[in-house]
């Protein structure tokens, strides 16, 4: 039997990542779609609740000019969901995203602590399961700048030629959003419930150290096309986070510098401060390759002969980005994570493409998921 899982805050930063990763396990999980308007329509909220074996409650307000509004909103969302659970006599497993700010003297932290207490009381008298997760600072692709994390804000500012400012240069405990999602899925699979589950941070860094790394990605990658040195999984994750804030539509394709002399032409394809794997392909006219996406890999497609159409579409969205490349003016497009992509020969001759990817291909862990653009 598949577990039916709903996510309040499905369109939020963590919610969208959790939703898409659950979709990678279609034999194990069935996703129950949620819309924030359900909180304003009791019948729709009850219908959602009835369908769910598991509800991950992520919906919350993080920032507002009036802290009391944050408190009232977050506690109100919990109360609404509990009312629906009671209306439906649900014994679902509820997972609640709380925060390390629970013990701080602010109304956001107090709203999270109060919400967790309310869910504990519901579980006691209903027979349902509850897991209250204390989560460190989360970062990753597609977070909202000025809202979800300082890393999102810094990345947005740097990619848009603005200068970030550090207010407090402290040590910050961090978790990459994909690691958090895997922690949530592990708790769902365990199905035990835990009133106070502290999700371990995966990294701890000074704000200034993170800004320095992001600045390197700006100067080396965005400005010069160099793949920077990435010394750890944290740095790969930070780099992939940075890349998602670039203006992909207008940045790619990037033209190479073509050197010609009587012998022919020479083009430098890629400068690397990191390893990986280089390959090339030939594609006959009319054929399309790809239609898949990656969740961690960094990849570059460089067209060196023929005419190609490279298409990208972010998972969960409908907008398709078209990039036209011609070997007479060699250029490249880099593949962002969570963007399904393909390459099609639209010319009359064979297409020659050079590929670079930052890790060796592993058949046991290919990080390749098929979905048409």
Q: Grade residue 163 by pLDDT with cuts at 50, 70 and 90.
A: very high
Beta-carbon neighbour count of residue 365 at 10 Å?
Answer: 9
How far is it between the farthest Cα atoms of the chain?
A: 84
154 and 216 part of one domain: yes
12 DSSP 8-state letter: S
- The tally of domains found in the chain comes to 3
310 and 215 part of one domain: no
238 and 263 part of one domain: no
Average pLDDT, the chain: 95
* Domain annotation covers residue 16: yes
**41-80 b/e (C-beta count within 10 Å ≥ 16 → b):** eeeebbebbbbbbbbbbbbbeeeeeeeeebbeebbebbeb
Half-sphere exposure of 173 (CA within 13 A, CB side): 11
155 and 68 part of one domain: no
H/E segment holding residue 44: helix 42-51
- Domain end position, chosen among 195, 218, 246: 246
Task: Quote the strand ranges of 181-298, DSSP E.
Answer: 194-198, 203-206, 254-255, 258-261, 264-267, 277-283, 288-293
* Domain annotation covers residue 198: no
User: What confidence tens digit (pLDDT) does each residue in 42-88 have?
Assistant: 999 999 999 999 999 999 998 888 999 999 999 999 999 999 999 99
* Domain annotation covers residue 69: yes
pLDDT of 100 higher than 90: no
360 and 325 part of one domain: yes
pLDDT of 103 higher than 90: no
User: What confidence tens digit (pLDDT) does each residue in 113-125 have?
Assistant: 999 999 999 999 9
- Domain end position, chosen among 227, 246, 265: 246
Nearest CA to 156 among 251, 249, 247, 245? 245
User: What confidence tens digit (pLDDT) does each residue in 289-306 have?
Assistant: 999 999 999 999 999 999
The C-alpha atoms of residue 245 and residue 159 are separated, in whole angstroms, by 6
Percent helix / strand / coil, the chain, rounded to 5: 35, 30, 35
CATH of the domain at 353: 2.60.120.10
290 and 232 part of one domain: no
* Domain annotation covers residue 237: yes
41 and 97 part of one domain: yes
* Domain annotation covers residue 190: no
284 and 223 part of one domain: no
CATH of the domain at 17: 3.40.50.720
User: What confidence tens digit (pLDDT) does each residue in 1-20 have?
Assistant: 899 999 999 999 999 999 99
102 DSSP 8-state letter: G
Percentage above 70 pLDDT, the chain: 100
- Domain end position, chosen among 211, 246, 281: 246
Q: What angle do CA 62, 242, 275 make, to 5 degrees?
A: 145
* Domain annotation covers residue 183: no
pLDDT of 194 higher than 90: no
Residues 6+ apart with CB under 8 A from 82: 118, 119, 122
Strand partners, 138: 175
239 and 263 part of one domain: no
57 and 131 part of one domain: yes
CB 298 within 8 A of CB 221: no
* Domain annotation covers residue 151: yes
CA dihedral sign, ordered 191, 195, 201, 207: positive
Exposed / middle / buried, residue 186 (Cβ in 10 Å: 0-12, 13-18, 19+) = exposed
18 and 114 part of one domain: yes
CB 357 within 8 A of CB 285: no
pLDDT of 226 higher than 90: yes
Domain that holds residue 268: 248-370
The structure tokens 């990656």 sit at 294
Nearest CA to 139 among 66, 189, 214? 214
Encoded tokens for 326: 């011609």
What average pLDDT does range 19-30 have in this prediction? 97
* Domain annotation covers residue 240: yes
User: What confidence tens digit (pLDDT) does each residue in 105-150 have?
Assistant: 799 999 999 999 999 999 999 999 999 999 999 999 999 999 999 9
10 and 131 part of one domain: yes
pLDDT of 192 higher than 90: no
Beta-carbon neighbour count of residue 260 at 10 Å?
Answer: 9
């Amino acid at each position: 039997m598949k577990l039916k899982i709903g996510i309040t805050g499905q369109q939020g930063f963590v919610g969208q990542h959790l939703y898409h990763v659950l979709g990678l396990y279609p034999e194990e999980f069935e996703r129950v779609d949620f819309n924030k308007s359900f909180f304003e329509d009791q019948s729709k909220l009850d219908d959602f609740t009835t369908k769910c074996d598991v509800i991950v409650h992520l919906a919350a307000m993080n920032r507002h000019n009036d802290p009391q509004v944050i408190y009232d909103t977050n506690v109100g969302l919990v109360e609404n969901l509990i009312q629906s659970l009671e209306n439906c006599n649900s014994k679902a497993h509820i997972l609640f995203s709380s925060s390390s700010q629970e013990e701080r003297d602010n109304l956001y932290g107090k709203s999270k602590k109060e919400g967790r207490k309310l869910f504990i009381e519901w579980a006691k008298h209903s027979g349902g399961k509850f897991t209250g997760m204390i989560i460190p600072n989360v970062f990753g692709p597609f977070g909202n700048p000025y809202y979800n994390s300082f890393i999102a804000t810094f990345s947005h500012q740097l990619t848009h030629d603005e200068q970030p400012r550090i207010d407090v240069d402290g040590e910050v405990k961090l978790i990459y959003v994909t690691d958090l999602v895997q922690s949530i899925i592990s708790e769902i699979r365990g199905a035990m419930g835990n009133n106070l589950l502290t999700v371990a941070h995966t990294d701890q860094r000074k704000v200034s150290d993170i800004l320095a790394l992001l600045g390197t990605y700006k100067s080396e990658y965005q400005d010069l096309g160099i793949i920077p040195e990435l010394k750890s999984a944290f740095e790969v994750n930070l780099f992939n986070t940075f890349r998602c804030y670039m203006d992909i539509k207008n940045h790619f394709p990037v033209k190479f510098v073509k050197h010609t002399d009587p012998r022919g032409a020479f083009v430098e394809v890629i400068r690397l401060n990191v390893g990986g794997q280089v390959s090339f392909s030939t594609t006959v006219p009319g054929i399309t390759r790809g239609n898949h996406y990656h969740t961690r890999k960094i990849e570059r497609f460089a067209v060196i002969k023929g005419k190609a159409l490279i298409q990208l579409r972010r998972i969960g969205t409908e907008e398709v980005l078209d990039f036209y490349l011609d070997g007479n003016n060699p250029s490249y497009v880099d593949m962002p994570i969570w963007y399904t992509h393909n390459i099609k020969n639209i010319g009359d001759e064979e297409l020659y493409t050079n590929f670079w990817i930052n890790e060796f291909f592993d058949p046991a862990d290919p990080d390749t998921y098929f979905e048409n653009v």
